[in-house]
A and B are shown apart, each in its own frame.
Chain A
Amino acid sequence: MSDRYFKLTFICSLIGLSFFGLDIIFAQDEIQLPENDQCIICHKENEILPEDFHENDVHLKSGPSCAGCHGGNPLKEDMEEAMAEEAGFIGTPSKREIPQFCGKCHSNINIMREYQPRIPTDQVEQYYTSLHGMKLKGGDQKVADCSSCHTAHGILPAKDSRSTVHALNVPLTCKKCHSDPDYMKEYHIPTNQFEQYAESVHGIALLENQDTGAPACNDCHGNHGALPPGISSVSHVCGICHVNNMQYFSQTKMAKEFEKLEIHGCEGCHGNHKVLKTNDDMVGIGKNSFCTECHAEGEKGYAEAEMIHAELMLIVTTYDSAEALRGKVQRIGMDDIDINYLLQESHQSLIKARTLVHTFDHEQVGEKTKEGVDKAQDAIKLAIKEVKDYKTRRLGFGVATLFITILVIAMFFKIRQMER
């Protein structure tokens, strides 16, 4: 390569690299806004952007921009022309119009398919079946519309952790209205749901442990079609996750009795927003039992509760003894692998037995607890054998030491005899 060509290539590379560098610098400093969009240019210049405006807004980034919702001609520099009725300018919709306003696109599968082929398009339809939607239709100006939850100009995809409807943020979004006693005054419903939820097993999992698998408000009440679950549907709502508990419960006589007595299925014992971590004393005849709230001594239900509790206690105590022995085996450095497997199986039976409590049948519970107790007892036998082996090893060492000591003494005397 001649010197001239070399210099040329070098200079070109340098220019290329400089552009690359500049590109990186500018990409970090400025978010790319739609080019030639006069709405953005003008509103930005005059600093009259909406309060909740966010440059990462999904509509701004993926195409529709301002005119996509508000109409008008974004290519016209003149404000009068850009925002003329002839150009299709709609302006700001009234609260009542918002669902239809969003629904223009979100209810049209042909439009939505361009952005997300699998996106549902029934949100508006569902919204009008919700209490929020029905009240809005009736003229209520305070109920939640689309923008109340999603915001209007700072909408982010639900999977974005900054979004108001991200799984971790949903309770905080609902809380904005539902925990405000003044705002909710006229609806005559409690405003302590969030506090209760935050203390519940679900709330701790979601808010403290950041476990997005835990249910937020919308997982039980629905999101667009939000309604409180009714008496007959409570167990179905809980059953979305707690499938077996729901199945067992719905097949019992108690399910029908609860309905007659207008007791909400699962809620009757576990509560609603403040679902606490369950324990074995919730069933039985102790002071913390829920069974005794309806069943008095002498009744069949009372005896059944007592027997179910006894079955659970049997497996729990056997399992705990086995677990303590396993700990000992582990501490002394012996083999606890098979003991661990047995205890896992026993624990599995314990979990299944606890689920079977919802059959309210001590025989079904007992069948499962027996399996678990048998496994735990096998684990205990193995653990005892390991502890015995441990002692045998020490005894073996004692015997070996004895022989070695005798040999050492004999050698010592032999050496002395030889060197005398």
Chain B
Amino acid sequence: MIQLIKKSYQWLDERFHLTPLIEFMRHKQVPVHKHSIWYYMGGVTLFLFIIQVFTGILLLLYYQPGVDSGYESVRFLMTKVSFGWLIRSIHSWSANLFIFFIFIHMFSTFFTRAYRKPRELSWLSGFFLLLLAMGFGFSGYLLPWNELAFFATKVGTDIAGAVPLIGEAIKIVLRGGEDVTGATLSRFYAFHVALIPALFTIVLGLHLLFIQRQGMHEPDYFENLPKEKKRTIPFFPNFLLRDALLWLLVLNILLYLAVFFPWELGEKADPFSSAPEGIRPEWYFMFMFQTLKLLPAHVLFIEGEVFGVLFFTVAALVWLLVPFWELKFSGKGKTRPMKIVGIVVILYIIALTILGYIL
């Protein structure tokens, strides 16, 4: 058996020159310091993405998009297909954890200032991955065609319609018409299983390529240490094993959530009924949704909703371009201005999210 593997490797190596790649991985070193834990967040996010791909493919075997079949096929999957309930529940929980870990990964990158030169493109690609992940969440939420998803999509696409000049066109493209109908479901399905995965795979590939090429970012104090004082571990197998250990723990948490808090299906969407109480988007959209709700009807001469949408568009641009406008550290013993920016953003997101659930 070992002989066979060796022979296969030789056969491939002869043609694709794999040895330099293995050597690269073997010699790649990962710094070890008090902030090393944050290195693992990207790995966990990647692990959850892999779970999403696998469970998503399994769900595809049964899911039938359509006003008369979307809800029914998910119900069939959850009730009649062996372990269908588990796969759907894992897919839903994993989607939420996926976005949660993207946020953790992003803020850890922000606070360790890993976005600085030469890693600007890693930050930019990461930010696009966050947007695509949110797109995954928004499009996937509607697919079971249940009451909550239907009305949340209606509200969500209405907000998109508030964008000045192009909003109405965006809304019509998203909905496939004036209202949320079967046409919306068909195109959300296409976005969720074809368009976004394709884009995500490309951007993720670039993101990973940048990281592999540039290596892990080292914090300032670590970077300034003499070489002999820098503690490192090999990427392969040490770092990968540590990664795998964390992945297993996350998998266990995921299984716990899926078994003990199975994702509900709710009532089938009825476009002619009035919106039920408590319509709210997924938690990761909540801070934006709540901001729009709290804004007055008019801010200066602009409509409140339009102002909110403009504000978040500008905020997203500012956040995207952080590597290019970073406020520099001034003097010893002072708090870094970027740290304050990060804390304010986190506090804002947490406060508005909590308000969204209690108000």
Binding site for B on A (CB under 8 A): 333, 335, 337, 393-394, 396-397, 400-401, 404-405, 407-408, 411-412, 414-415, 418-419
- Cβ of B26 under 8 Å from chain A: no
Pick the contact of A397 from B75, B249, B255 — CB < 8 Å?
A: B255
Q: Are A414 and B255 also in contact (CB < 8 A) when A335-B78, A407-B248, A419-B233 are?
A: no
Contacts of A408 in B (CB 8 A): 245, 248-249
Say whether, besides A333-B262, A418-B238, A401 and B79 are in contact (CB < 8 Å).
Answer: no
Q: Is the CB of B259 within 8 A of A394?
A: yes
Known A-B contacts A397-B255, A397-B259, A415-B238; A335 and B245 likewise in contact (beta carbons under 8 Å) = no
Q: How far is the CB of B220 from chain A (nearest CB, A)?
A: 25
For window 210-243 of chain B, which residues contact chain A by CB distance below 8 Å?
233, 237-238, 241-242
- Taking a contact as CB atoms under 8 Å apart, the answer to whether A411 and B244 are in contact is yes
Report how far A414 CA is from B255 CA in the complex, Å: 25
B251 neighbours in A (Cβ, 8 Å):
404
Partner of B79, one of A337, A404, A415, A418: A337
Residue B256 lies at the interface, judged by CB distance under 8 Å to chain A: yes
Q: Which of chain A's residues have a CB closer than 8 A to the CB of B249?
A: 404, 408
Q: Does B325 contact A (CB under 8 A)?
A: no
Least CB distance, B142 to chain A, in whole angstroms: 21
Mark interface residues in B244-272 (1 if CB within 8 Å of A CB, else 0): 11001101100110011010100000000
Contact residue among B75, B86, B259 (Cβ-Cβ distance under 8 Å from A337): B75
Contact A404 B245 (CB under 8 A): no
The smallest C-beta distance from B119 to any residue of chain A, in angstroms, reads 27
Cβ A411 vs Cβ B248 within 8 A: yes
**9 contacting pairs across A/B (C-beta < 8 A):** A337-B79, A397-B259, A404-B248, A407-B248, A414-B241, A415-B242, A415-B245, A419-B233, A419-B238
Shortest beta-carbon distance from A48 to chain B in Å: 50
CB distance from B235 to the nearest CB of A (A): 13
Known: A408-B248, A408-B249, A411-B248. A400 touches B255 (CB 8 A): yes
Query: Nearest-CB distance from B77 to chain A (Å)?
Result: 11
Q: Report yes or no: A394 in contact with B252, Cβ–Cβ below 8 A.
A: no
User: B15: shortest Cβ distance to chain A, in Å?
Assistant: 32
- Least Cβ distance of B12 to chain A in Å? 27
Q: In the complex, A152 Cα to B245 Cα: how many Å? A: 90
Which A residue sits closest to B256, measured CB to CB? A397
Q: Known contacts A337-B79, A404-B251; is A394 also within 8 Å of B260 by CB? A: yes
Given contacts A335-B79, A401-B252, A404-B248, contact A411 B262 (CB under 8 A): no
What chain B residues lie within 8 Å of A337 (beta carbons)? 75, 79
B25 to chain A, nearest CB (A): 16
Residue of B75, B79, B80 with highest tally of chain A CB at under 10 A: B79
Known A401-B252, A412-B245; 16 more pairs at CB < 8 Å = A333-B262, A337-B75, A393-B259, A394-B259, A396-B259, A397-B256, A397-B259, A401-B255, A401-B256, A404-B248, A404-B251, A408-B248, A411-B244, A415-B241, A415-B242, A415-B245
Expressed in whole angstroms, the Cα–Cα distance for A335 and B78 within the complex equals 8
Instruction: Tell me whether A411 and B245 are in contact in the complex, defined as CB-CB below 8 angstroms, given that A335-B78, A335-B79, A418-B238 are known contacts.
Output: yes
Q: Which B residues, 66 to 87, have Cβ-Cβ distances below 8 Å to chain A? A: 75, 78-80, 86
A418 contacts which chain B residues (CB < 8 A)?
237-238, 241
Closest chain A residue, CB of each to CB of B258:
A397
For residue B89, which residue of chain A has the nearest CB? A333
Closest to A335 in B: B79
On chain B, the residues within 8 Å of A396 by CB distance are: 259
Q: Which listed residue, A333, A401, A405, A407, touches B264 by the CB 8 Å rule?
A: A333
With CB as the reference atom, state the residue of chain B lying closest to A337: B79
A75 to B244 Cα, complex, angstroms = 101
Q: Return chain B residues, CB-CB under 8 Å to A335.
A: 78-80
Docked CA distance A393–B256 (Å): 11
Closest B residue to A396 using CB positions: B259
Q: Which residues of B contact A414 (CB under 8 A)?
A: 241
**C-alpha gap A400/B254 in the complex (Å):** 12
Chain A residues near B78: list those with CB within 8 A: 335
